[in-house]
Amino acid sequence: MIWKNLTDKLQIILIVYIVGLGLPSLTLGQESPFSKLKQTFENGSIFKAEFHHQTVDSYTRDTVASSGHIWVGNQEYRVQADNKSVVVDGKTSTVYDEDRNRVIISKYEPEDDDFAPSRILNGVDSTFTVQNQEIRENEIYILLSSDDPFAIYKKVELFLTKSLIPKKIVAVDPADNIITTTFSEGKFMKPEEGMFTLSYPESAEKVDMRN
């Protein structure tokens, strides 16, 4: 999928991959923070944040980094980073590469998107188990792992504020590469008109793969 070719896959949508897992309740009260967080997305709120994304190669220790902005909804997401923009509205995926002045439009297939909100919220993925969950000073810490050889990650650490705002995600893939995504200025907001519409110049080359 085109999304996976953008800036080292831009695995920011992992946040939705995690929050929709339907994890067991934390011992932080009667209602699980994840249940509340999931309900926030289902009620139509949009998570908006600036992000810094970094991948460290386990063998060479080479580092690839990118920064940008992200908007995540229940069935849609938008990412702007490194002169590239991606918008998925639940039906269509639109990618604009500013450097090439090219737009690629394709039919969105949730089953082909490892990070699709719908895929996780519908309970398709059950490969992760909770190894640890606790309150650390002023944040919530969750450790997830998977023994599935086909899982995207072996281990995932998720850090949230006590008000359930995502702060950081650290993931380890099957090759032991470390992927860290840090969020800043994160907040939930109401959806706005045009939020998941991608704008690009009329001069851009258009490649429509839906036919």
Structural contact between residues 80 and 66, judged by C-beta atoms closer than 8 angstroms: no
Q: What distance in Å separates the CA atoms of residue 199 and residue 195, rounded to the nearest whole number?
A: 10
Count of domains observed in the chain: 1
Confidence (pLDDT) at 119: 40
Confidence (pLDDT) at 118: 38
| CATH code, domain with 23 | 2.50.20.10
Residue ranges in the chain modelled with pLDDT below 50: 1-13, 16, 19-30, 114-125
CA 63 to chain centre: 20
Confidence (pLDDT) at 34: 62
Confidence (pLDDT) at 201: 92
pLDDT tens digits for 44-60?
888 899 988 888 999 99
Confidence (pLDDT) at 165: 87
Cβ neighbour number for residue 16 with a 10 Å cutoff: 25
Confidence (pLDDT) at 111: 56
Which single residue is written with the structure tokens 């998941």?
196
Domain hosting residue 142, numbered range: 2-208
